[in-house]
Amino acid sequence: MEGAKCAACDRTRGDPKNALRYVKAILAGEQHVQVEARLFNYAIATAAVLVVAGALVYSALLPATPDTAAYLPLFLLTIISAVAIVFSYTHIMHYGKSLSCANGMMVGMIMGMLSGFMAGALLGATNGMFIGSVGGMAVGIVLGGNLGRIVGVMGALEGIMAGLMSGIMGAMTSVMMLNDNLVAFLYISSGLCVFMLGGLSYMMHREAGDTPGQGRGARFHEFLLAGIILSLALVGIMLYGPKGPVVYP
């Protein structure tokens, strides 16, 4: 009987309906996912604030810097990437010391890999291979290593290694695709990265249970500030950082 229960449990672990129920629960703001629901609302609000503020700043700067018109699709992608990264990072931080070693290593690897790739790809497109690699590595190593260190040196090294590889890969991919539908590819690849960051949150919900510390965690102004800092850092480098010999557009 016990073996039959375990077999039934194993068959449901990969059922997409479980993920759909998780998403629906977040959208409905159910009690057991109230942290995720709150962070999702923060993400939507932060993205809206950044888009409006960016549009106002862009309108004010456009007469002086007309060449930035070509960067508009990348600016929007920067906001999407920054908000997704902050959401995932903040959600995982809620688990804190309750992370198992295996989960912590997975968290460090995924966060380091995806954040480093997205940042490296954006900066590689506008600033070239060197700045893209360095910027992508910095983002991936800091975020992946910091989350991974929760479970010890192995998790930290996993995050650092993932950030090192992904920062270079993201920049290299953009440089290689400068003459081949780069912007479309960046949206596709970043969309997949955002999807996987969402999958990371779902994985933690499945593996570690409901998010502990329901009353703790980031407040909206902290979430917004983190999104602004990351977005401004990337956009500032894109506009005013050193440029390589061959860059977008």
C-alpha 68/C-alpha 61 separation (Å) is 9
| Predicted local distance difference test score (pLDDT) of residue 11 | 55
Backbone angles phi, psi at 236, to 5 degrees: -60, -45
Domain regions of the chain by residue span = 21-240
C-beta separation of 138 from 107 below 8 A: no
Q: How far is CA 33 from each of CA 22, 91, 175, 238, rounded to the nearest angstrom? A: 8, 11, 40, 37
Give the Cα separation of 75 and 67 in Å (integer): 13
Which amino acid, one-letter code, is at 130? F
Residues of the chain whose pLDDT is less than 50?
1-9, 215
d(Cα 187, Cα 183) in Å, to the nearest integer? 6
- Where do we find the tokens 């070239």? 128
Q: Which residues of 66-89 are buried (b: 16+ CB within 10 A; e: fewer)?
A: eebeebeebbebbbbbbbbbbbbb
Q: Rounded to 5 degrees, what are φ and ψ at 147?
A: -70, -40
SS3 content of the chain, % helix, strand, coil (to 5): 85, 0, 15
Q: Report the pLDDT value the prediction gives residue 158, as an integer from 0 to 100.
A: 93
Q: What is the pLDDT of residue 119?
A: 97
CB 20 within 8 A of CB 198: no
Q: Is 64 helix (H, G, I), strand (E, B) or coil?
A: coil
pTM: 0.90
| Contact in structure between 152 and 104 (CB atoms under 8 Å) | yes
CB distance 227 to 156 below 8 Å = no
DSSP 166: H
- pLDDT of 46 reads 97
Distance CA 215, CA 48 (A): 25
